[in-house]
Amino acid sequence: MQNQSELSINGTSENIISVIIKVCVVVPFFCIFLSCIVVMLHIFASHRQFLDSSRYILFTSMLINDTVQLLLSVLLFFLYIGQVNFILLYCFPLLFISNVTFQNTPLILATMSLERYVAIIYPLQCPPAWRSDRIWIIIVSLWLLSCVCSIILCSTGPQKNAVNIFLTPVVCRSVVVNSSPIQMFFKTVVNILCFAAVAVIILFTYVRILLETRKLRQDRTSVSKAMNTVLLHGFQLLLCMLAFTIPITESLIVLYANQLLEHVPFLNFFFFILIPRFLSPLIYGFRDQSFRSYIGKTFLCCSNSVSEA
């Protein structure tokens, strides 16, 4: 009995240490990300030139979308490692918004690529839908489309024990809500079609800009920047698609590293959800010369204020 109690205490202490390490790894990443996002949003709201540009409005929409996605992901992860149980009535909104923002990310990337295509192909006469005063209609349409897909997913294939789940506390995870085969199939099909369509759009815009380069009589530098921007959107899409490798990594770890089995959710969350969402908007924001210059000035002002205080 004494040996069993000692093993139980050792196991409990190891779990506590593991949770503390995971929290200490995730929290700094999220704080750095959030501080950078707050600075970028402050720059966007403080300078009229960004408010009058469709490109920067779409970029800001992506920042807000990824911030909500990462915030909910971190919250759900902490609830999972803490084994916090609550009824599905409170869990469902978190999972729903998380799924909507996940679906919305590739749609925003495709829209940003199309915006660069329109800016290069129609430099003097921009179509009305892509003007800065109407780009909000496209952004709202993307959010509505993502919401409709998520609603269809949640309403497809209702579970037999749905009533019990609404009354019984559960760990808030996506598999609790979307556990039926029909729901999993629908989710897989929607994700594949969505990401495939976005990949085709990004490839199309890049090829079209490349072919139109010889015909356009404008600054070659701007065309080159547009091509690099579209390539960056393709890289961002690849980062988003890393989430689809989670089942593969889980299978490999189960086969070759059983001792890491309890850490699989954290490893998948950190490498395939947290880091891609962390890198995607920051790379785009710091790459932009206008944003980068204002970011440098903002941090310089903050450091001067701290030193004077």
Find which of 6-20, 116-130, 191-205, 280-294 is predicted with most confidence, using mean pLDDT.
Answer: 191-205
* pLDDT: which is higher, 263 or 50: 50
* Predicted confidence band of residue 137 (pLDDT cuts 50, 70, 90): very high
pLDDT per position as a tens digit, 145-193 = 999 988 887 777 555 554 455 676 777 877 766 667 777 778 778 888 8
Q: What is the mean pLDDT of residues 52-57?
A: 88
Tokens representing residue 37 in the block? 């996002």
| Domain ranges across the chain | 2-308
Taking only Cα atoms into account, the Rg of the chain, rounded to an integer number of angstroms, comes to 23
* Predicted confidence band of residue 13 (pLDDT cuts 50, 70, 90): low
* Predicted confidence band of residue 61 (pLDDT cuts 50, 70, 90): very high
Q: Say which CATH topology domain 2-308 has.
A: Rhopdopsin 7-helix transmembrane proteins (1.20.1070)
* Predicted confidence band of residue 135 (pLDDT cuts 50, 70, 90): very high
Find which of 160-174, 267-281, 295-309 is predicted with most confidence, using mean pLDDT.
Answer: 267-281
CA 229 to chain centre: 18
Predicted pLDDT of residue 248:
66
| Ranges of H-type helices in the chain | 2-46, 48-51, 54-81, 88-121, 135-155, 162-167, 174-177, 181-212, 220-241, 246-256, 264-269, 275-287, 289-308
Which range has the worst mean pLDDT, 110-124, 227-241, 256-270?
Answer: 256-270
| Contact yes or no for 272/308 (Cβ under 8 A) | no
pLDDT per position as a tens digit, 201-254 = 988 988 888 877 766 655 567 677 777 788 888 887 887 777 776 666 666 666
| Contact yes or no for 227/255 (Cβ under 8 A) | no
| Contact yes or no for 44/38 (Cβ under 8 A) | no
pLDDT beyond 50 at 16: yes
Predicted pLDDT of residue 5:
40
* Predicted confidence band of residue 255 (pLDDT cuts 50, 70, 90): low
Tokens representing residue 208 in the block? 């079209």
Position 246, amino acid: I
**Other C-beta atoms lying within 10 Å of the C-beta of residue 298:** 15
Predicted pLDDT of residue 11:
45
Dihedral angle, C-alpha 298, 303, 306, 307, nearest 10 °: -140
Q: What is the mean pLDDT of residues 131-140?
A: 90
Q: Let me know the angle formed at the C-alpha of 111 by 107 and 113, rounded to the nearest 5 degrees.
A: 120
Predicted pLDDT of residue 208:
84
109-142: buried (b, 16+ CB within 10 Å) or exposed (e) per residue?
A: bbbbbbbbbbbbbeeeeeeeebebeebeebbeeb
* Predicted confidence band of residue 57 (pLDDT cuts 50, 70, 90): very high
Nearest one of 247, 242, 62, 37 to 143, comparing CA atoms: 62
C-alpha span between 153 and 45 (Å, rounded): 35
Tokens representing residue 253 in the block? 């770890």
C-alpha span between 66 and 102 (Å, rounded): 8
What is the β-pairing status of strands 170-171 and 85-86?
antiparallel
Which range has the worst mean pLDDT, 40-44, 47-51, 226-230?
Answer: 226-230
What does pLDDT average to over the chain? 77
